[in-house]
Amino acid sequence: MLADLYPGFESRLVETRAGRIFARVGGRGSPVLLLHGYPQTHVMWHRVAPALAGEHTLVVADLPGYGESDAPEAAADHSPYTKRAMAAAMVELMEQLEHRRFAVVGHDRGGRVGYRLALDYPDRATCLAVLDIVPTWEMWHSMDAARAMKVFHWTFLAQPYPLPEMLIGKAPLEYMEWKMLAWNGAHTNTVFDPRALEHYRTSFAQPARLHATCEDYRAGQSTDVAIDEADVRAGRRIECPVLALWGARGIPVAGESPLTVWKRWARHVDGWAIDSGHFLAEENPPDTVAALLPFLRDHLAPST
């Protein structure tokens, strides 16, 4: 049996247009939606959740296709794994939990869902914190040799079915753990709680979830970047306050300053590097909490 890393939190399974979404819910105060990245699950927030839950009601969700959420078949546009579809599912989740307005904190793929939610639902997001990403459009349009080597999985996972599924499926856990080792600042998976690693292994080893994660990246290469392109052309920007945090040895440092990039996408942005690799919330929880709590306090959503 997998360890419970959220003692005292409820488990909820909520029906949405993207299938059933699983979330852990706990804490008290203004609502905050926490969204994980690839190749992880909601468990990635377990080291920062206790501190955040002292001031906020946390909804710690699994994205569609990840963790314990449903992994439905993808449509031709790769929905429900487009960030627009995932954002809509998160809005449905929060509404069914009686949170109409809420803060969003997203790491990696969860950050991409978060900024899409802030753009598509400006009346829902009170503020947005993004961890170790720049927008998808920016990634594809700045894909020079250095960045391509760092994020080769973007082009690999976006290859048509079944190539990445077939190759990763031969050794899914070895692939997952190698990626996590390569992305963390110490280049050792001892930075992760062994109990959390078991959660990640259990999810990633399932063929349906491996396929869903590839659909997530296929959406990123096609539908997601097209949706971002429409916003760029229309001059649309994120209206709510944005906090951009990234690892000093993280993924977005191979290029233009992430803060400079986010200032093109949002009207009110602050941000800085954390002493970490890609996985800020697990590699350096004290500094991650120290950055998030004041930001969330300054932009409280109504508590319910």
Q: Annotated active-site positions, please?
A: 108, 278
Q: How far apart are alpha carbons 304 and 32 in whole angstroms?
A: 11
Q: How far apart are alpha carbons 189 and 135 in whole angstroms?
A: 27
Q: How far apart are alpha carbons 150 and 128 in whole angstroms?
A: 26
Its sign, for the CA torsion 164, 222, 140, 129, is negative
Q: How far apart are alpha carbons 13 and 57 in whole angstroms?
A: 17
For the chain, report the end-to-end CA distance as a whole number of angstroms: 33
